[in-house]
Amino acid sequence: MKKTMFYLKDFNFKNKTVFLRVDFNVPLEKESGRIRDDTRIQAALPTLEYLIDQQAKIVAASHLGRPKGKFNPQLSLRPVAQRLGEILPTRVTLAPDVIGEEVEKLKLSLQAGEVLLLENLRFYPGEKENDLSFAQALASGIDIYINDAFGACHRAHASIVTLPQLVPQAGAGFLLEKELKNLEKIIHHPAKPLVAILGGAKVADKIPVIRNLLSKASEMLIGGAMAYTFLAAQDHQVGRSLVDEQSLPLCQELLTLAQKNKVAFYLPVDHVAAPSPEEPEKRQILTEFPFPAELMGLDIGPQTQKLYTERIKKAKTIFWNGPMGVFEVPEFAQGTLVVAQAVAESEAFSVIGGGDSVAAVTQAGVVQAISHISTGGGASLEYIANETLPGIEALKEKK
């Protein structure tokens, strides 16, 4: 039987103390400590505004960076509290700690519609260690738990998986709801053809995603460094290109699975290569194997760009994660930018799974033309691979 999840509209929040788990893991400027990009704060606003409007007493909490279980003033949520105070039409107080007596007092003194932002959850090792007593301390005085931190849902941390079990009611916020609705369109009955585009460097991370997509996609377009592990698995000599030797057997297995499932599995047919990413002036186009021993593939070549653009044009659903080359270097960015443009021009329902591909569509200036850009790179990949996440399982049948 399918287990039910509850959403904001299922609850009565009036005068209830609500623990809102958000993802305020924003990039900070090194020197000034100012927020460099507040996209994640903006993404949580619909839920925050709704809870304020519904007269909830809001205890918001997030992690920020990697303080390794210790208090670190440089990773305080103070800049986030300040920003929230500017944006929200209510009083926002920053708690001096995450748990403890003072925080309890502040929770009790919250008025309906006010926000108390706890300090960085990762100041306590119990967060990452999923410690029960830490979760119990977080649960103190809480009536309803709402998770709106999609980007953290793949982590089995205390505030994500144990806390919802300890409070009377729990459910998902608007951002989590939107992420799930859009990602479900990729894994459940996608409009066909579903074209999956996968790139980036770490092939091992993406093997589970490719495996699951091979049961759903019509076509798979591979780029980035990981293409070279697949090409090496087909016994091609790829010079100095990045090859993950340990993943070779699994890549061979996936190539066989693609054939068995009749998924058209595309690998680059030409390459922009150079001795290293630092020597773009020495780049050349390679169309054949073996590659010269001193060269490495750093972007998909012009023929591949054309081929992938044609395949993308025919798609009805698109899932894309990972750049097609070392797009941080302009001379090796063209493949990624061409793919970004093609995805934007397509009429397909398109989902971008966070991370570097988001930077690419931003650079190409086509963000508006993408149906859904996920706020969680790791979380969206894990969701596509496993069709659920620890944080989502923890919410099911919990109202």
Q: Where in the sequence numbering do the catalytic residues fall?
A: 40, 202, 355, 378
Helix (H) or strand (E) holding 308: helix 302-313
How many helices (H) and strands (E) the chain has is answered by: 15, 15
Site for ligand AMP in 108-137 (CB under 6 A): none
Q: For 114, what's the count of Cα atoms within 13 Å in the CB-facing half-sphere?
A: 13
To the nearest whole angstrom, how small is the minimum distance from the Cβ of residue 28 to ligand AMP?
21
Site stretch for ligand AMP (CB under 6 A), options 15-23, 308-316, 323-331, 386-394? 323-331
Cβ closest to ligand AMP, residue 135 vs residue 233: 233
Asked if 239 touches ligand AMP (CB under 6 A), the answer is: no
Q: In what order do the strands lie in the sheet with 219-222?
A: 264-266, 219-222, 194-198, 317-321, 349-352, 372-373
Q: Which residue is nearest to ligand AMP (CB)?
A: 200
Site stretch for ligand AMP (CB under 6 A), options 37-45, 141-149, 262-270, 319-327? 319-327
To the nearest whole angstrom, how small is the minimum distance from the Cβ of residue 53 to ligand AMP?
39
Cα 253 to Cα 110, 211, 308, 396: the distances in Å are 57, 9, 23, 34
Site stretch for ligand AMP (CB under 6 A), options 19-27, 302-310, 321-329, 378-386? 321-329
Cβ closest to ligand AMP, residue 144 vs residue 273: 273
Cβ closest to ligand AMP, residue 126 vs residue 325: 325
Dist. CA 231–CA 227, nearest whole Å: 6
To the nearest whole angstrom, how small is the minimum distance from the Cβ of residue 384 to ligand AMP?
14
Sign of CA dihedral 111, 112, 118, 121: positive
The one-letter code for the residue type at 122 is R
Instruction: Give the number of residues in contact with ligand AMP, rule: CB under 6 A.
Output: 15
**Helix %, strand %, coil % for the chain, to 5?**
45, 15, 40
Asked if 177 touches ligand AMP (CB under 6 A), the answer is: no
Q: How many CB atoms lie within 10 A of CB 388?
A: 15
Site for ligand AMP in 273-312 (CB under 6 A): 297-298
Do residues 350 and 196 touch, judged by C-beta distance below 8 A? no
Q: Which residue has the tokens 């997030």?
A: 62
Do residues 144 and 55 touch, judged by C-beta distance below 8 A? no
Site for ligand AMP in 4-63 (CB under 6 A): none
Q: Out of 79, 173, 190, 355, which residue is the one contacting ligand AMP (CB under 6 A)?
A: 355
Dist. CA 188–CA 183, nearest whole Å: 9
Bond into 290 cis (ω within 30): yes
Q: Which residue has the tokens 């659920």?
A: 388
Dist. CA 216–CA 329, nearest whole Å: 33
Cβ closest to ligand AMP, residue 99 vs residue 242: 242
φ/ψ (deg, to 5) at 10: -85, -5
Q: Reduced to 3 states, what is the DSSP secondary structure of residue 287?
A: coil
Cβ closest to ligand AMP, residue 110 vs residue 243: 243
Q: Per-residue x/- mask for ligand AMP, residues 191 to 230, rule CB under 6 A?
A: ---------xxx---------------------xx-----
Asked if 238 touches ligand AMP (CB under 6 A), the answer is: no
Cβ closest to ligand AMP, residue 79 vs residue 224: 224
Cβ closest to ligand AMP, residue 174 vs residue 332: 332
Residues engaged in binding ligand AMP (CB under 6 A): 200-202, 224-225, 242, 297-298, 322-323, 325-326, 328, 355-356
